[in-house]
Each structure stands twice: as structure tokens, then as C-alpha cells.
Structure 1
Amino acid sequence: MKKSKNIILILVVGALYFTTGACNLISSAGLSSKGLPTNEVSEELPSTTANSEVNVDHSEWNTLLKKHVSKEGLVDYKGFMKDREQLNAYLAKLAKLKPTDNWSVQEQLAYYINIYNAYTVDLILNNYPTRSIKNIDGNWTKDIVTIGDVEISLGGIENSILRKMNEPRIHFAINCASISCPKLMNEAYTAAKINEQLDRAAKDFINSDKNEISKNSAKLSSIFDWYKKDFTVDGTTLIAYINKYSNVKVDAGTTITYKDYNWNLNEQ
């Protein structure tokens, strides 16, 4: 009898995982930062390179994004495949630049966002062609990212590093290679522009067709459901957070519903 209950519990948890589609909220159990530093954003995030021990050059990634990502965030993976040598060189460069506590929060954010996005592209290329990142085994749980002497998963970077940095706009900056994801920006994140870039990513996503917003209605991306607690710290409501970036202001108390998530590949 006990064994039957355990089997049922496993089946229910599995069903929840595939029903919600959250990148790795359920599968993140046991993930850690592996000792990598996570400086927290204070009340404001000025864009600057003046307060860090290291200023990382992300120009190689910027060049690849300009070449292979459209303004709409759709990716030319076949084109990326032709520039595999340049992508590998960029990943190797980042692997040698292990962040420390002496890096500014701006440099850390830019580094972790860029390495997450670059390795996501690399993951797709390693399994191309594929209809969806969800068809790839261990997509967010395998330790495929190299940072110094650390091997960490994409889920580890998202849940144990970026989400710990007190900056919910990261959810609009990291890309999970899917149609319903916030778009992959066709420029690299940098400490010199990080606040403006995160603001643009938030506004682009919230005002896109990934959400259906009007004065009395809010049908939002499932991202706001999966990561609700990140957007509602210090008593902020989800509607109040949306209204910070939405062109159309939603009335307080409006009932929120969530859209189905399209996990098909974000390919041009």
C-alpha cells in the first residue's frame, strides 16, 4: 500500500513538472551556486564599469548576436553553427574568468546573463536539429557550464545565482530558446549599460504579445506565475510590478490569468 502511494506521488510530481513547464523550478532541488559569488543589487543599479576589479569584454558575443539574432529575438542556429569556432572561443574565454566578490554586481550580472544565454545556444547547437529545448535530456540540470574550476548547470546559474541577486529583471534577460521566452537580445549585456538593457528587456517583454494586458484584464506569461515571489518582494503586488513597465496600466485588484507556454524552438 505504501509503495503504491509513493508511485502515485511520483506520477503526480512528474505531471506537475510537465504541466507547468517551468524551466526548472521543480528540478532545481539540490542545485547550488557551487561557491560562485552572488552580489546583491541594492535599491538602484547604476550602469558603470568604475566599481569593479575586472571589466569583462563581451564584444565577441555581441558580434555573434548581431549576426545571428533578429530584432524580434529569433535565432539563426544554422548560422551560429557556421561560427562555432568563435562561439567556442568566447565560452573558453568566460571559463577562464571566474567571478569573485571583488567584481561589481554590474559585472557579475552581465557575466552570468551572457554565459547563460551563450551556453543555451551551445546546448541547442549540440543537439540540433531539435523542435524544443525540452526534448534535450538534462537541459537545465546537467553541469554543462564551465566557470574556472567549477562545473555548473543552467538551472544552477538561474536559480542559485541570478535569482539570488535581488534583480527580478533577469527573468526578461535570460533566454530558454523557446517561442514564449523573453527574446534573446541581439547585443551582449555589459556593466556599462546593464540597467538600461534590463529596463529595455522588461519593457519589451511585458508589452509584447507574450502578455495580453488591458485596463481591466491581465493575461500574463506563465513566467509571472512560476517566479511570482521574485516580482512581489517587499509587499509589491504583481499588478504593481507590471505597471512599472506596461504601456497600459492595469487596475489594482484585476484578476490575473496565465497564458499557455510555447516551448517550440525560437528559430528564424
Structure 2
Amino acid sequence: MTESPSYVLESGSPAGISRALLNAVRVETPVDGHLEALARASHDDLEPIRADEETGLAFWLNLYNAATQLLLEERPGLFESRIRFFRAAAITVAGVDLSLDDIEHGIIRGRKSKYGLGYLPRLEPTGLPAGYQLGRDPRIHFALNCGAASCPAIRFYEPETIDSTLEEATRTSLESTVEYDADRNRVVVPRVCLWFLGDFGGRSGIRSLLAAHELIPPDSSPKLRFASYDWTKARRMFLE
């Protein structure tokens, strides 16, 4: 007897399903079919997101942002305790319940702790094989939306254009938050740059990023100051 095709392959590519889920969240249409496809997917179904970094990154960024919005809608009280909110089961992939922390720190950041300024390994397993882990890209901190007012706007990520979309997300976020004071030789940057200092390559890496986006003069070395973070709950921050 011929084995029937998997649910995911009948419904579309894994990256396509994650994008469709995020769009369903945006326009407030049913999401159950997309959630079921992701939950029932086999590791073979999900091979494209392990084989190609861009495909994997697009998949997980869309999935994280969709899962956050669903968690805020279905269990809004959790947001009162950030520890509980980020550790709660948010979405199921290949039969594994994943929290927002699992997706961000266990997969997207390549199993790095959320503590220790981005330099320490994450000890907690996600439940998925190590092959799902990605290499660290500091631009993801301008793409992930955890439901707080200081989070960046939610965009849609496609494997073919993810580099340019991440660049745009980073540029937009930095331009709206960075404050450079030449007289005092200092620059105020988003708080996430401190929380994940190691992801950015340390303070020199942050300055290089700012210079690349023409927010500080080339070869300058201003003192870094880190803005406070507004944790006010803010749902549905989709880029129009």
C-alpha cells in the first residue's frame, strides 16, 4: 500500500505555512488548519528549514511572531509575568510543544541563553534535534515581536528576500530609536543591544552596526547608553 503524503506537503511548504499562519493571525481568520499542519509535520516534512538557513530563519521568525499574538489573545493574563509568558507552551511543531524562549533562544539564536548578555549557552533543550538550530544573526532582535510596546513592528519574512527584509527592519528600528549626541560623544541605543551584547559582537560590533547605517560617523567611538524598555502590552503591531 502506498503511504499517503504528509499533511504539510499537501498544504504547502513549511515556510509557506508559517507565513500563512502569520497572515491568518493578522487578518483574524481561522488558524486551526495551519496549527494542525505544523503539529503533525514530521522531521522529513521540515527538512527544508534545516537544510537552508534563509528558509529556516523565515520559518521561525514568522512562527515566533504568530505564536506571540496567539498567546496574547488566548492567554492574555500570562503577560503579567514575563517569566511565565515566555516559558509557556505557545505552539506545537512536529509534535513538540515550544515556548517563545525555545524558539528564540533554543533555535533562532543557536541555543544561547537569554541571560549573560548573549555570551552563555542555553542549557534547556527545546525537544527538537540540534539540526534545527540556526546561526546567530543580530538583526533578528529587530524582527521578533514579543507583544511589548518597545518591540519592532511585525513583518512577513520570505526565504528569497529575508536578507533585504531584515536589513530594512534593522534600519527602521535603529533610525526610530538611536539618539547620537556628538557634543557629549555618546549614543543611546535600544535595550536589546545590551541584553544580547554578544550577538552584536560586543560594544565595537554595535558601533560598527550604527556606522553602517550612518547613525554615527565612520571610525567614531561614542560611549554607549542603553534606552529603557517599555513593557506595556501592545498587540497586533503589524507593519501596514
TM-score (norm. length: structure 2): 0.70
Question: Quick one: percent identity of the two aligned structures?
Answer: 22
Alignment-derived partner of residue 154 in structure 2 = 184
Q: Provide, for residues 241-268 of structure 1, a one-character-per-residue CA deviation record: whole Å limited to 9, x for no partner.
A: 2222344537632111111110112247
Equivalent residues of 1:60, 1:90 under 8 A apart:
yes
Supply the AA of the counterpart residue of 1:157: I
Mapping of 1:98-113 within 5 angstroms? 98=43, 99-100=46-47, 102-113=50-61
Distance 1:203 1:110 in 2: 18
Mapping of 1:155-174 within 5 angstroms? 155-164=101-110, 165-174=135-144
1:140 lines up with 2:86 in the alignment: yes
- Unaligned 5+ segments in structure 1 are 1-53, 68-79
Equivalent residues of 1:106, 1:191 under 8 A apart:
yes
Alignment-derived partner of residue 16 in structure 1 = none
- What is the CA-CA distance between 1:56 and the residue it aligns to? 2.9
- What is the CA-CA distance between 1:136 and the residue it aligns to? 6.1
Supply the AA of the counterpart residue of 2:148: S
Equivalent residues of 2:178, 2:215 under 8 A apart:
no
Distance 1:206 1:65 in 2: 26
Equivalent residues of 2:22, 2:66 under 8 A apart:
no
Higher helix proportion (structure 1 or 2)? 2
Q: CA RMSD in A?
A: 2.7
Q: Judging changes above 3 Å, is the alpha-carbon distance between structure 1 residues 249 and 91 closer, same or farther for their aligned structure 2 residues?
A: farther
1:56 lines up with 2:4 in the alignment: no
Alignment-derived partner of residue 167 in structure 2 = 199
- Unaligned 5+ segments in structure 2 are 1-12, 111-134
Distance 2:39 2:70 in 1: 14
Supply the AA of the counterpart residue of 1:93: A
Alignment-derived partner of residue 195 in structure 2 = 226
- Which fold has the larger relative contact order, with Cα–Cα distance below 8 Å and residues 6 or more apart in sequence? 1
Q: Judging changes above 3 Å, is the alpha-carbon distance between structure 1 residues 180 and 152 closer, same or farther for their aligned structure 2 residues?
A: same
Supply the AA of the counterpart residue of 1:220: V
Query: How many residue pairs get matched?
Result: 193
Distance 2:21 2:217 in 1: 36
TM-score (norm. length: structure 1): 0.63
Mapping of 1:225-244 within 5 angstroms? 225-232=194-201, 236-244=204-212
Distance 2:174 2:188 in 1: 11
- What is the CA-CA distance between 1:121 and the residue it aligns to? 0.2
Q: Judging changes above 3 Å, is the alpha-carbon distance between structure 1 residues 136 and 113 closer, same or farther for their aligned structure 2 residues?
A: same
Distance 1:221 1:137 in 2: 21
